[in-house]
């Protein structure tokens, strides 16, 4: 049996064992298409991982800025309280050298002694309060510095993660291109026939009347607007930076489509699957989202009816409308 071995950036073909029956062009085409679909999913999953890491890094960088602002506030408060304490000490020193000695006190005047004692006690109490405030302010400053260091560490971790994912992404794209380079001549015709067969199979499967989705309800009434947006960007390039169009990754496309319909959904495919009500694959209706990979982590597409989806394809490097492909793990509904 012929097998394609996909390593980082390389593709090799293992010939059938001696004596094994030769495999047909159709079988070769099916195997090659499976490999292309697998790398497409891997690219999409890496793009989602990259998006998550960039989001976490952005959050960490915002926390750094917030912590730095709070550090400045805490430093100003520490300086203000220290100035008050130092002024009290200076005032006490000035009084001590201005001639107010013990001989000036009228120890026989009980009222005067009482007044001076009350003043001394009040001053001591005031200084105690200031020192307590100073301790609190210094503790707050230490906390803000820890917050800043923690945020900086998180940002550095996510920056390393982003670099790692980008390197893996590029290697996978090279692997994918090597696979696509094999699609030529007779094998290209066989793959076209295999794709047509799979597309017809998917359309037949998903064109049956949808069953009811219990406890979920019908799709959002703005589904047609989301679909219209997605159709309007067909042909836009695939991108791992889906913040805004005109380029999209898979979850960037679904988020943008529903945003155009006035509905906000989470940023990445995992969060979209986790945050929306789940429905069975035999209950999908136009506007629903289909997911691939564990917990929807690998890919997401917008279902448009008749077994067709619009998604951002890594293999085609573009937004496209096509039949449901591969093996979706589940679906969710925007309500």
- Segment 306-318, tens digit of pLDDT: 999 999 998 888 9
Q: Which residues of the chain have pLDDT under 70?
A: 1-22, 89, 92-127, 241-245
Whole-number Å distance between alpha carbons of 40 and 60: 30
DSSP string, 237-299: BB-S-TTSTTSB-HHHHHHHHHHHTT----SSHHHHHHHS-EE-GGG--TT-EEEESGGG-SE
Structure tokens at 89: 């000490």
Q: What is the CA radius of gyration of the chain?
A: 34
pLDDT score recorded for residue 305: 92
Nearest C-alpha neighbor of 248 from the set 296, 304, 308, 313: 313
DSSP helix/strand/coil, 320:
strand
Are 314 and 247 a contacting pair, CB within 8 Å? no
Per-residue confidence (pLDDT) for residue 12, from 0 to 100:
45
User: Residue 318 phi/psi, 5° resolution?
Assistant: -165, 165
pLDDT, position 209: 75
167: tokens are 């390197």
pLDDT of 292 reads 97
Residue 330 burial class via C-beta count within 10 angstroms: exposed 0-12, middle 13-18, buried 19 and up:
middle
**Relative orientation angle of helices 25-97 and 250-260, to the nearest 10 degrees:** 70
Q: How many residues does the chain have?
A: 335
Helices (H) and strands (E) in the chain, counts: 6, 8
In 3D, which of 272, 258, 189, 250 has the Cα closest to residue 225? 258
The pLDDT of residue 212 is: 77
Q: What span, in angstroms and rounded, lies between the C-alpha atoms of 273 and 333?
A: 9
> Which tokens belong to 13?
């073909």
Strands (E), the chain: 3-7, 10-14, 278-279, 289-292, 299-305, 308-313, 318-323, 330-332
């Amino acid at each position: 049996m012929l097998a394609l071995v996909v390593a980082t950036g390389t593709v090799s073909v293992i010939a059938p064992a001696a004596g094994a029956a030769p495999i047909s062009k159709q079988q070769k085409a099916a195997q090659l298409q499976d490999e292309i679909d697998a790398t497409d999913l891997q690219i999409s999953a890496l793009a989602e991982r990259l998006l998550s890491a960039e989001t976490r890094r952005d959050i960490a960088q915002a926390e750094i800025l917030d912590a730095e602002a709070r550090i400045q506030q805490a430093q100003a408060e520490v300086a203000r309280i220290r100035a008050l304490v130092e002024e009290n000490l200076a005032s006490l020193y000035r009084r001590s050298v201005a001639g107010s000695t013990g001989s000036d006190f009228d120890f026989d005047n009980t009222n005067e002694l009482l007044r001076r004692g009350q003043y001394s006690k009040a001053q001591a109490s005031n200084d105690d309060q200031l020192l307590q405030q100073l301790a609190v302010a210094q503790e707050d400053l230490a906390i803000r510095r820890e917050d800043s260091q923690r945020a900086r560490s998180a940002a550095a971790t996510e920056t390393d993660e982003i670099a790692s994912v980008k390197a893996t992404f590029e290697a996978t794209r090279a692997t994918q291109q090597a696979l696509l380079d094999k699609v030529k001549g007779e094998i290209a015709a066989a793959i076209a026939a295999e794709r047509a067969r799979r597309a017809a199979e998917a359309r037949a499967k998903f064109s049956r009347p949808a069953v009811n989705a219990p406890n979920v309800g019908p799709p959002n009434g703005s589904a047609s607007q989301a679909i219209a947006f997605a159709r309007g960007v067909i042909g836009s390039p695939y991108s791992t930076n889906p913040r805004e169009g005109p380029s999209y990754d898979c979850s960037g496309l679904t988020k943008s489509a529903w945003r155009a319909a006035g509905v906000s959904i989470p940023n990445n495919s995992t969060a979209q699957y986790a945050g929306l009500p789940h429905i069975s694959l035999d209950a999908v209706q136009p506007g629903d989202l289909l997911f691939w990979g564990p917990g929807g982590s690998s890919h997401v597409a917008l279902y448009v009816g008749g077994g067709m989806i619009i998604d951002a394809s890594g293999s085609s490097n573009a937004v496209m409308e096509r039949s449901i492909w591969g093996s979706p793990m589940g679906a969710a509904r925007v309500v």
